[in-house]
């Protein structure tokens, strides 16, 4: 009896041990191994999921680019000429107002190319605010290029500048602009301490002066002011020819030859007055008068008024005829024995 109890006790212990182990151990390996096979089967039949978009290769993108470029771009707005001009003017004014020399120079060039009264007014306003001497001269040149009479008052002020080069530049500009109201200032400048200013004043008077300036110009010529005689030639009337020839001492026209040349070359000097001038030189009959007539004839061999050429030829022939014996004697004198 004791032996059978022992056996039954041992069998019970074995069963309890098996039950405990089964509760702790997971499902059988066979069931776990079947799961991958079962899961793999549906994967072959289920439709593939949607994939993320793949970037196109560079070649494909390049091929698509012309199609995008072919689409017409929206046209840029076109600025009206008046608006564009106003914008350029405003920009130039801003640069002109700066203290940088390079900006001021660029602005002066832009304004001289732009043209018009607003450009001239901008330069005049900048001159009134003050500029370095070298920029003042450049501003004067810009006003000449603009050729606006409205710049004359500013130039008249500069004609009194303390620096002689600026005075000369301003006076030359008054002549270039044909400022008719500048004659009084130009006559005053004929007595300027600077020879360059006096010379510029004489040239300017030749451009803008009138016959009332002739006495002052003759006086300036007597003082040796350069271009004074050129100005006389520009302003003299036919009635002044007698005054001109009256300065030919003993028939020598050399001191007034510049005036005579200018009168003969002047397109506004009447043809009749030129013919009368030729005849006046013929009456003088001096070597200097004849040389002047020959020069004028040579200058008009192929062009010029036929009437004037005929007058020149006749005057030279008359002088030669009147002095033929003298020429013959003078030619024979070197070979004659004492």
Domain segments of the chain: what residues? 238-323
Report the mean per-residue pLDDT for the chain.
81
Structure-token match 């006003």, residue found: 143
Between CA 192 and CA 197 the distance in angstroms is 6
Confidence of residue 325 (pLDDT cuts 50, 70, 90): low
Q: Are 107 and 93 in contact (CB under 8 A)?
A: yes
> What are φ and ψ of residue 76, in 5° steps?
-70, 145
Extract the tokens encoding 159: 């004609």
Q: So what's the pLDDT on residue 16?
A: 47
Q: So what's the pLDDT on residue 8?
A: 53
Neighbours of 158 (CB within 10 A): 22
Confidence of residue 76 (pLDDT cuts 50, 70, 90): low
Q: Where do runs of H (alpha helix) occur along the chain?
A: 2-24, 29-45, 58-69, 81-96, 101-114, 117-129, 133-146, 152-158, 164-176, 183-189, 195-208, 214-222, 228-235, 241-246, 257-265, 271-284, 287-299, 306-322, 324-332
Confidence of residue 122 (pLDDT cuts 50, 70, 90): very high
Between CA 253 and CA 245 the distance in angstroms is 7
Between CA 173 and CA 162 the distance in angstroms is 17
pLDDT (tens digit, 9 = 90+) per residue, 139-161?
A: 999 999 999 988 999 999 999 99
Q: So what's the pLDDT on residue 331?
A: 40
Q: Which of 13-17, 26-30, 146-150, 203-207 has the lowest mean pLDDT?
A: 26-30
Q: So what's the pLDDT on residue 253?
A: 96
pLDDT higher than 60, residue 162:
yes
């Amino acid at each position: 009896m004791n032996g059978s109890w022992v056996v039954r006790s041992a069998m019970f212990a074995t069963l309890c041990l098996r039950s405990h182990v089964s509760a702790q151990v997971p499902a059988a390996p066979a069931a776990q191994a079947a799961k991958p096979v079962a899961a793999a089967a549906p994967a072959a039949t289920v439709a593939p999921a949607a994939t993320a978009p793949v970037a196109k290769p560079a070649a494909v993108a390049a091929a698509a680019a012309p199609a995008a470029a072919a689409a017409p771009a929206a046209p840029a707005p076109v600025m009206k000429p008046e608006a564009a001009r106003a914008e350029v003017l405003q920009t130039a004014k801003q640069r002109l107002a700066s203290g940088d020399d390079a900006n001021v120079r660029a602005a002066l060039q832009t304004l001289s190319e732009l043209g018009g009264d607003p450009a001239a007014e901008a330069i005049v306003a900048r001159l009134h605010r003050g500029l370095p001497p070298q920029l003042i001269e450049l501003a004067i040149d810009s006003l000449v290029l603009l050729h606006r009479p409205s710049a004359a008052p500013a130039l008249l002020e500069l004609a009194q500048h303390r620096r002689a080069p600026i005075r000369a530049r301003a006076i030359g500009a008054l002549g270039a602009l044909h400022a008719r109201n500048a004659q009084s200032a130009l006559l005053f400048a004929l007595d300027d301490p600077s020879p360059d200013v006096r010379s510029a004043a004489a040239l300017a008077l030749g451009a803008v002066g009138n016959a009332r300036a002739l006495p002052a110009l003759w006086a300036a010529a007597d003082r040796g002011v350069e271009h004074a005689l050129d100005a006389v030639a520009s302003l003299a009337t036919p009635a002044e020819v007698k005054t001109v020839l009256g300065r030919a001492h003993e028939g020598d026209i050399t001191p007034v030859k510049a005036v005579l040349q200018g009168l003969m070359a002047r397109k506004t000097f009447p043809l009749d007055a030129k013919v009368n001038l030729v005849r006046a030189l013929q009456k003088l009959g001096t070597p200097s008068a004849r040389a002047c007539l020959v020069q004028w004839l040579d200058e008009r061999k192929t062009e010029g008024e036929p009437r004037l050429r005929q007058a020149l030829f006749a005057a030279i022939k008359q002088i030669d005829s009147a002095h033929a014996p003298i020429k013959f004697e003078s030619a024979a004198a070197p070979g004659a024995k004492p």
